Amino acid sequence: MSAHIPNFGTLLSSHDTSFYYQDNPASFACTDYSIMDGLNECRTARVAEILSDFRTLQYYITSAPSDPENAEDYYTEGWNALRQCAFDGHHILECAADTRVPVAEGGEEEQTKAELKQVLLDAFSRRHEGQKIYMRQCAAQRWLEYRDLILQGQRPQQASQQQLHACDRQLRAELASITDESVYAELAASDQVLGRWTVEDPSLRSVLRWLRQRRR
């Protein structure tokens, strides 16, 4: 698994995701697909996995710094990026879910399927955006480390300007490389390594459409 992907586990966040479900989300933690007798159980378990991933990402996002100790550094490129990540992380956590209940023909199983697929798109899209924010945060935190190495506890001087500019350029290049396509592919590869059921995962196009509808 790529170093860009955190160790996904069940870490608590400040956001209660239980509003997505009529049942207790804790009962969804079933990942032994070999003993499942229906795809709705697979879909339910997949939603639980994605939500667990998203909670883990939120934990890391909210743990990152967003303001420098020295006010003179406030508008530097790395700190600007970290503040934007904190803002975006809060938005993707709080943006509204699609509360319309899909109507499906074919009985209770088909209705449950339609509802689970809608919830999966919601959770999957939030995880995608959370992963993108996390990767941008990691790039900005590397910028902080490189900058500290250059300055060695001192304030910026004329002699260090060239190195600092190179550090800024490196950050811009890293941020530009974090595209929706690369994030989607990286998460898909991670899911495969973990042996997860991904047959009905939403497409990147569906994810981007969901995110566009919730832009500020």
Task: Read off the pLDDT of residues 33-83 as tens digits, 9 standing for 90 and up.
Answer: 333 347 999 999 999 999 999 999 999 999 999 999 999 999 999 999 999
- The mean pLDDT of 108-123, rounded to a whole number, is 93
Q: How far apart are CA 44 and CA 64, in angstroms?
A: 31
Helix (H) or strand (E) segment spanning residue 186: helix 180-193
Residue among 48, 123, 47, 141 at smallest CA distance from 86: 141
Task: Read off the pLDDT of residues 124-138 as tens digits, 9 standing for 90 and up.
Answer: 999 999 999 999 999
Tell me the whole-structure pTM to 2 decimals: 0.82
| Mean of per-residue pLDDT scores for the chain | 86
Domain ranges of the chain: 39-213
Residue among 39, 15, 38, 37 at smallest CA distance from 25: 15
Task: Read off the pLDDT of residues 11-33 as tens digits, 9 standing for 90 and up.
Answer: 333 333 332 333 333 333 334 43
Q: What is the DSSP string of 23-68?
A: S-GGGG----GGG--SHHHHHHHHHHHHHHHHHHHHHHHHHS--S-
Instruction: Return the residue matching tokens 């959770």.
Output: 123
How many residues does the structure list for the chain? 216
